[in-house]
Amino acid sequence: MPNDMTDAKVWLVTGAGRGLGIDIAQQALAAGHSVVATGRNPDAILQAVGAHENLLAVALDITDPKAATAAAQAAVKRFGRIDVLVNNAGNFYAGYFENISADQFRAQIETNFFGPLNVTRAVLPLMRARRSGQVITITSTAGLVGQEFVAAYAASKFALEGWMESLRFDLAPFDIKTMSVEPGFFRTELLVEGASTNWPELSVEDYAQRTHQTIEAWKGMNGQQGGDPAKLAAALVTLSDSGDLPLRFVAGADAMAAVEANLQAIQTQIDAHRDLSASLAFEPGK
């Protein structure tokens, strides 16, 4: 917990009206920080997070750049600055690639990728002016490891990973730190139909049986996930307060296992064709 007011930070958390966002806002408040909790419905945010003197609920659709700017301005008006940005808001368009309509795929990228870009664009000028800050972006294990039935979702999260890995170089001279967070399965609302999950609009017969089986299996997983979102939120506050953010935080035993297996598979693939790959150098005169 911060020792005094000089240690207290101002957090801006997107998607704070449900799921992990609620826990992040609550844990940051409990640690003595001020929180600008954003989402589509400020009243729902207040009800979910709970009234607190250091809480400001602000309406924000992350796909609207003007709304992102307005939210940042509201934060500055109330608390004077933004120290920690948590890009948490997102949704999930599940399905096999050919079953996901073009509009659904674009909507997935618009929310999960361009949404965080919109909010970060609005906040970074404030952080650069102070020469300090933290940008924390929630991606997913699916941002590092491709999985079945998540073609659109994985694409959006892989994009976030690439953006964040490169953004750190932009921001390092201004003492702004970045951290990507790759959770495994946590008991959030990600698999709740109509809340965060959207099923495929199209139906290709070759995928019909697998689609039905996968949807039923995933519906059965909701509420049974192994990760505790309150513990994840507390871990993020701990990492932020440490002042030494890792570039990545792979969150959960299942996430670590999946990423480690993928790293081993990539190394095996490199080794299998090492000589062929090394032979590709340009040789003058040949």
Q: Where in the sequence numbering do the catalytic residues fall?
A: 153
Report how far residue 94's alpha carbon sits from residue 105's, in angstroms, rounded to the nearest whole number.
10
Report how far residue 182's alpha carbon sits from residue 138's, in angstroms, rounded to the nearest whole number.
6
Report how far residue 219's alpha carbon sits from residue 92's, in angstroms, rounded to the nearest whole number.
13
The first and second tokens of residue 237, run together, are: 């506050």
- CB-based burial, 148-161: b 16+ in 10 Å, e otherwise: ebbbbbbbbbbbbb
The first and second tokens of residue 141, run together, are: 């294990």
Q: Is 222 exposed, middle or buried (0-12, 13-18, 19+ CB in 10 A)?
A: middle
In angstroms, the Cα distances linking 93 to 42, 215, 261 are 25, 12, 25
User: Cα 230–163–57 angle (5° rounding)?
Assistant: 40
Report how far residue 127's alpha carbon sits from residue 32's, in angstroms, rounded to the nearest whole number.
20
Q: Which residue has the tokens 């602000």?
A: 58
Q: Which residue has the tokens 């994009």?
A: 159
Q: Positive or negative CA dihedral for 90, 231, 134, 122?
A: positive
Candidates 175, 86, 89, 102; CA nearest to 132 is: 175
Q: Which residue has the tokens 């003595």?
A: 32
The first and second tokens of residue 202, run together, are: 């199209």
